[in-house]
Amino acid sequence: MTTAAATDNTWPVILYGTAWKENATAELVRQAIAAGCRAIDTANQPRHYNEPGVGEGLNTALGEQALGREDLFLQTKFTPLDGHGSTIPYDAQAPLADQVEQSLQGSLNNLATDYLDSYLLHGPHDPRGLNETDWTIWSQLEALHERGVVRHIGISNIGVGHLRDLLDKATIKPMAVQNRCFAKNGWDRAVRELCAEHGIVYQGFSLLTANTAVLEDSRLRMIADHHGVTPQQVIFAFARQIGMLPLTGTTNAQHMRDDLAALELVLNRTEMVEIEQLAG
């Protein structure tokens, strides 16, 4: 098994997620970078993402902020056929390996780059485990990593069984896992712990939108009041302290700055335990 340095300093501290931003994507990416965010998450999935808009926003921001490509962390995804609507960014009749290659080249063009910092399989086909199609796609991701066009590879929207399959059978194990993170599941504790055991970066998304009841919980609000911050900032601070790479998808420029500032907040052990036990 080949092991990559998934916990090295090339990983950012927070990702700006661009799903469902539609025509506002370019401006929001520009605002996120202006606020101080240096890592962008997207996908070549026109149904839910405007990846060309991400590229437009990056181009504007690089000029405004006097930044280079090397200052940014760009992550996108290959989405299998069943994750697309009427617009598919590759030849649906082509062999799977060619679909991955075509989608990758589309992403490189959209983002105006010749490499990706991270490339994810957007999700497995079967909730019970990985099937032959998933393995074919994963093998192609491994090949892209070996070519050097993709620095890290990973997978999104999985359970413990999928991750164990990859750890047991993949030639190159996943370097990142990205999941929707629910407080009622212990903030995805089982997957997080398996990631930590194997040096895999766990990325949590929908930290706020999947846990609206938690944000109203009096215990969380007391912690926020104690530190003079918002409950949302407490959640982001908590996520970082338990070893998570959080995604923020806010469309509010002030909240972008707040989410970044939250990463400097330090919660004590009692507070961490209390938040981890919130069920949502």
Helices (H), the chain: 25-35, 51-65, 96-111, 132-147, 160-169, 189-197, 212-215, 218-227, 231-241, 253-262, 269-276
The predicted pLDDT at position 210 comes to 97
Measured distance CA(187)–CA(184) in Å, rounded: 7
Tell me how crowded residue 100 is: count the other CB atoms within 10 A of its CB: 24
The predicted pLDDT at position 8 comes to 47
Residue 234 contacts residue 227 (beta carbons within 8 Å)? yes
The predicted pLDDT at position 127 comes to 85
The residue among 118, 251, 135, 244 whose CA lies nearest residue 186 is 244
> Which domains are delineated in the chain?
15-206 (3.20.20.100)
Q: Kindly list the averaged pLDDT for each block of 10 residues, start to end, along the chain of length 280.
A: 41 98 98 98 98 98 96 98 97 98 98 98 92 97 98 98 97 98 96 98 98 96 98 98 98 98 97 89
Measured distance CA(255)–CA(253) in Å, rounded: 5
Measured distance CA(58)–CA(239) in Å, rounded: 26
Measured distance CA(130)–CA(218) in Å, rounded: 41
Kindly report, residue by residue over 217-257, the tens digit of the pLDDT. Answer: 999 999 999 999 999 999 999 999 999 999 999 999 999 99
User: pTM for the full model?
Assistant: 0.95
CA-CA-CA-CA torsion sign (253, 259, 263, 265): positive
The predicted pLDDT at position 107 comes to 99
- Mean pLDDT rounded to a whole number for the chain: 95
17 secondary structure, DSSP code: E
